[in-house]
Amino acid sequence: MKAKIALGTDHGGYLLKEEIKKWLIANQYEVIDFGTNSEDSVDYIDFVYPAAKSVSQNEADFAIVFCGTGLGASYVANKVQGIRAALCQDEFTAELSKLHNNANVLVLGGRILAPQRALNLVKVWLNTEFEGERHQKRIDKIHEIELFECKSHKNN
């Protein structure tokens, strides 16, 4: 079975999410769609957060999240402990986000990327494996920062 992918977007990424979703389903990926389900104006936070959270809680293997530019969606996803969300606009960053940073969330801008370009990024991202080794120590350091920040906020 292929990976389970969570999706989440606001109205700005809705059409792109639907295109990516069709491709994922056609290629036997299991999809969990957290919405939104129209182009009606909504807050990206309400859909991106549960998609990212599903990855941190091991309910999904990865997430692909969207908003108009991808910026807001990346801010939200990266607030979830254990998430490494990568806002990508080209194949090089999509590949390196997995190869070196083991990104578990891909972020795409629905008003920035044409559907075919976005689909190419998704394919590259899903087909790239984490290199590990020297890069793992950097992932571990990121995790240490998350733990430290979480503790320091609890103590304030």
Catalytic-residue membership of 100: yes
Answer yes or no: are the C-beta atoms of 48 and 67 closer than 8 Å: yes
Range of the domain at 39: 4-130
Catalytic-residue membership of 67: yes
118 in any annotated domain: yes
Percent of the chain with pLDDT strictly greater than 90:
82
108 in any annotated domain: yes
Of 67, 88, 135, 153, the active-site residue reads 67
Write down the pLDDT at residue 15.
97
pLDDT in tens, 7-57: 999 999 999 999 999 999 999 999 999 999 999 999 999 999 999 999 999
- For the chain, the domain total comes to 1
154 in any annotated domain: no
Of 11, 88, 100, 150, the active-site residue reads 100
Write down the pLDDT at residue 132.
80
The amino acid that residue 5 corresponds to is I
pLDDT in tens, 102-149: 999 999 999 999 999 999 999 999 999 998 888 888 989 988 888 888
Instruction: In whole angstroms, give the CA distance from residue 93 to residue 75.
Output: 17
CATH code at 20?
3.40.1400.10
